[in-house]
Amino acid sequence: MAGHSRWAQIKRTKAVVDAKRGAVFTRLGREIMVAARAGADPAGNFQLRTAIEKAKAARVPNSNIERAIAKGSGQGGGDGAQFEEVRYEGYGPGGVAVLIEALTDNRNRTAAELRLAFSKHGGNLGETGCVGYLFDHRSVVRLEGSGLQEDSLLEQLVALEEAGGPAALGYELDPEGAEVIGPFAQLEALQDQLRRRGLPVATWEHRWIAHTPCRLEDGATLTQCLKLLDALEELDDVRSVTANLEADDALMEAIG
């Protein structure tokens, strides 16, 4: 919607990037370890290939990546077997729905840290399923290039579907490129086919996308909510944070 910022855009605007935090290498290393359980060869393990590309984008050293693959595949102590993927859900200030994905070796510790973060910033950690119905799990392929044109991109997506390729469910352009959204199960095929068509594929991931946004119009509430989301993202066990937050661009600029 013109003039409005959704959570994915807000994260980019605020420059909430993993590279600003020392925990990024640990977090991405865990993702690689978990993915490597299915095999240490990225060529035959798409989940591992995705985790490696994500780590490289964050400038994780190759030595760290290789060590994480070895651990996850059982060649370096098997630490990856300790971690499990867990989803948590809750509410932030103003009724914003928050969905958290974590990689943890201790559910009690992770839940306690999340509950503390929510309570300190005016939110509440809820039961599983309390907000999950407000989100869809999708494939998202990031294209980077300021020269991307909407008409050209749309033509490519239509041609891809007509040729029997994966159907895009939508797309969103921004000044730096675009994001193409597809069905959850078609991430590998979508990023591969877009690349084959010469589009500038930069990254790809599975992402929760809110289909029912919660718009905040009060600056104080928005500020408190953003502090909560930042606090959640800073926790070592947290893999991703998604919210159905929406706010006016002008309000975002006003709170800095």
Write the DSSP string, 30-87: HHHHHHGGG-S-GGG-HHHHHHHHHHHHTT--HHHHHHHHHHHTTSS--GGGG-EEEE
Count: domains in the chain: 3
Residues 66 and 94 in one domain: no
Residues 228 and 251 in one domain: yes
What CATH number has the domain bearing residue 195?
A: 3.30.70.980
Chain segment 21-61, per-residue pLDDT in tens: 556 788 889 999 999 998 999 999 999 999 999 899 888 89
Residues 216 and 194 in one domain: no
Chain segment 148-200, per-residue pLDDT in tens: 899 999 999 999 999 999 999 999 988 889 999 999 999 999 999 999 999 99
Helix (H) or strand (E) holding 116, with range, is helix 107-120
Residues 123 and 40 in one domain: no
Residues 51 and 118 in one domain: no
Give residue 65's domain range: 20-82
What pTM value is reported for the model?
0.84
Residue 141's pLDDT band, with cuts at 50, 70 and 90, is very high
What CATH number has the domain bearing residue 57?
A: 1.10.10.200
Residues 51 and 143 in one domain: no
Residues 40 and 67 in one domain: yes
- Reply yes or no on whether the pLDDT at 117 is more than 50: yes
Residues 8 and 98 in one domain: yes
Residue 227, exposed/middle/buried by CB under 10 A (0-12, 13-18, 19+)? middle
Contact between residue 99 and residue 135 where contact means Cβ atoms under 8 Å apart = yes
